Amino acid sequence: MAEIGKDIDYAKDVLSDGGIVGVPTETVYGLAGSALDTGAILKIYKAKNRPQFDPLIAHTNRIDKIETWVHDFPLKAMQLAEKFWPGPLTLLLNKTDAIPDLLTSGLARVAFRIPNHPLTLELLSRLDFPLAAPSANPFGFVSPTQASHVEDQLGDKVDYILNGGKCRIGIESTVVGFEEDEVIVHRLGGLSVEEIEEVVGPVQLKLNKSSNPEAPGMMKSHYSPGIPVIIGSIRDEVEKLKDRKAGVISFSEFYHDAQVMKVLSPTRDLHQAAKNLFRVLREMKDEEVDVIVTEKFPNEGLGKAINDRLERSAAS
């Protein structure tokens, strides 16, 4: 199994030698390797069993570093970067030849973000290359929100796991691209559409859940807990499934008829619900339920991102 620790210097040495490291962010744990080293990128794809047509996100700690790896930085992109970085925002920018095509799956744009976690920011500050870091889990499965999840799912496929505790946000970053003067959200995530629109005005949603994605995290079937997921009226679905062991994930209401019951936020706080989502999906597998029943969340703020993750779980 992989060693778990807080040794930033050791993590730096592993990455500099072409290895891969589990790293904490405020969203989920990433599986990191040099974004400029095709050998390290291939190790990430192999460890995750991820198809190479699904591009990866690159991470670093400063905007001026990113400017050396992209051709341009649109005004609205800079406005969002200055407002929300470090944070759960990923920007799609036109890459230079220094960024390998393998990282972007041959696309002309590279996804960049500056994560908001002190350990990983310190690690990135000591590196002269960005880190490719998709979620540190097998492709298509629930993303990890603490170091032990990385070890459970990847084991000795990763060289080291940097332990930064539990993730504060718990779902992946929001992915934003730019076409002329238009701002386009490609993936819903830990930064709400409403927050983005406060800075740059109205945005377009382009959430096509494709088998040939234009940006990271756009696959239709994803975030699988390894158990069928049904989205609908919890009370009605539990009644239909009374002969099976059903696990219920609700926003705030407790259902006494459920055999296994998980409430994401008794106070109806969407940030708390998002933080708990992946952990609760993982716990359902430990409970050995036959099926997971859940509901639509309010279609506002982070509720949009929660619904997106649940829909992809149900499609798995």
pLDDT band at 209 (very low <50, low <70, confident <90, very high): low
Query: Domains plus CATH for the chain?
Result: 4-172 (3.90.870.10), 229-314 (3.40.50.11030)
User: Residue 220: what pLDDT?
Assistant: 55
d(CA 55, CA 144): 19
Average pLDDT over residues 66-72: 97
Mean pLDDT of the chain: 93
- Confidence bin at 225 (pLDDT 50/70/90): confident
Residue 217 neighbours by CB distance under 10 Å? 28
pLDDT per position as a tens digit, 20-58: 999 999 999 999 999 999 999 999 999 998 887 789 999
Least confident residue range of 159-168, 200-209, 230-239, 254-263: 200-209
| % of residues, the chain, pLDDT over 90 | 84
Q: What is the pTM of this model?
A: 0.89
Average pLDDT over residues 219-241: 85
Listed in sequence order, the residues at least 6 apart from 215 whose beta carbon sits closer than 8 Å to its beta carbon are: 55, 92, 109, 111, 175, 177, 186, 187
Question: pLDDT tier at 226 (50, 70, 90 boundaries)?
Answer: confident
Q: Answer whether residue 72 shows pLDDT above 70.
A: yes
19 is written with which tokens? 């290895």
DSSP string covering 92-157: EEEBPTTS-HHHHTT-SEEEEE----HHHHHHHHT-SS-EE--BSSSTTBPPPSSHHHHHHHHGGG
